[in-house]
Amino acid sequence: MKLNLLIVEDHEPIRELFQAFLGEKHNLEFASTGTEGLQLASEKNYDLIISDLNLPELEGLEMMQKLREKDINTPFVVITGHNTMKNELESFRLGALDFLVKPFGFDAISAILEKFQKNFFITEKKKLMGYHYLQSRKSSFILNSVMSEIQNYVKIILNEVENLPSVSKNDILVLKVILFELLANAIEHGNAGIGYDEKHELMKKEEIEYMNYIDSICAKSNKKVKVEICYSSAEVEVSIEDEGDGFDVESVPDPRLDPMKNLLSGRGIFITRLNIDSLTYNSKGNKVKAIRKLK
């Protein structure tokens, strides 16, 4: 399937490389400044925007912010010379799917586009007439605790809401991030019972493949994760409950206070709080409820 891509890049040699490697596979349009990118993205519908952060006239994130203010929610991939926590968090907030750090190979771009087509590309469909009168919907799932299956779980769960009234592409992108982070927390810290300090120590051990280690613990206990997603015309509510012992939410490291810990701990909850309207835990700490308001 050919994608309609907007490439916003001020260096002509890089634009030429995009054309050479992707021109036959996808429909490409180019902008050399943030202002030009903003104008094109405002006038035409693109499936994906690939944009450099450092652009003449208008920087990449500023361009995306202005598009979001216009309710243009085209997903995007960031090109950057060096990634920083600030840029990463702001990009996530605006709905970035991935980062390309210079210098990058075009095999990395191909992998990102393949992932986008498989898991993020939302085909435009006419909504069934009956959906226009739909007031609410609730779906429940019981999931095995397998880290490698999280991406598939997210796709299945979001199939329940992605074509419903009032749910925008940006809502879907935000819900993808939320579900991925909170499901990972439920499996890793909930059902596997791995604390943040223990995770830090395990990640230092080269002989341990961390994700496989988590899955092996969960396979022995056979603990499940319960997910409920509730839709109404005003909001989408996601509830995730694990079968672990719970935890003290206040003990989670705050990456704003200790940025280095963001690499291992606290990132999921922090990113979720940035993107939703409400995040609450039960007293035990094994059930979380996230609410995303719909425009």
Query: Which residue has 């879907």 as its token pair?
Result: 172
Give strand pairing partners of 28. Answer: 5
DSSP string, 91-131: HHHHTEEEEEESS--HHHHHHHHHHIIIII-----PPPGGG
> Maximum CA pair distance of the chain?
57
pLDDT value of position 163: 73
Asked if CATH classification 3.50.30.60 holds for the domain at 4-120, the reply, yes or no, is no
Query: Is residue 186 classed exposed, middle or buried when 0-12, 13-18 and 19+ CB atoms within 10 A define those classes?
Result: buried
Q: Tokens 């935890």 identify what position? A: 247
Distance CA 18, CA 172 (A): 28
**Cβ atoms of residues 77 and 95 within 8 Å:** no
Tokens linked to 147: 């880290």
Q: Rg (Cα) of the chain, in Å, rounded? A: 20
| pLDDT for residue 262 | 44
List the beta bridge partners of residue 8. Answer: 31, 51
What is the pLDDT, as a whole number, of residue 88? 66
Interior/surface letters 240-267, b for 16+ CB within 10 angstroms, e for the rest: bbbbbeebeeeebbebeeeeebbebbbb
Phi, psi (5° rounding) for residue 154?
-60, -45
- Which residue has 């799917």 as its token pair? 97
Domain segments of the chain as ranges: 4-120, 129-293
Burial class (CB in 10 A: 0-12, 13-18, 19+), 143: buried
pTM: 0.53
| Domain 129-293 CATH (choose: 3.40.50.10800, 1.25.40.10, 3.30.565.10, 3.40.50.80) | 3.30.565.10
As averages over each run of 10 residues, the pLDDT of the chain (295 residues) reads 89 90 91 95 90 90 89 84 65 74 78 75 43 70 92 88 80 87 90 82 78 90 94 91 83 50 50 76 91 88
Triad 85, 199, 98: Cα angle to 5°:
35
Check: CB of residue 38 under 8 Å from CB of residue 66.
Answer: yes
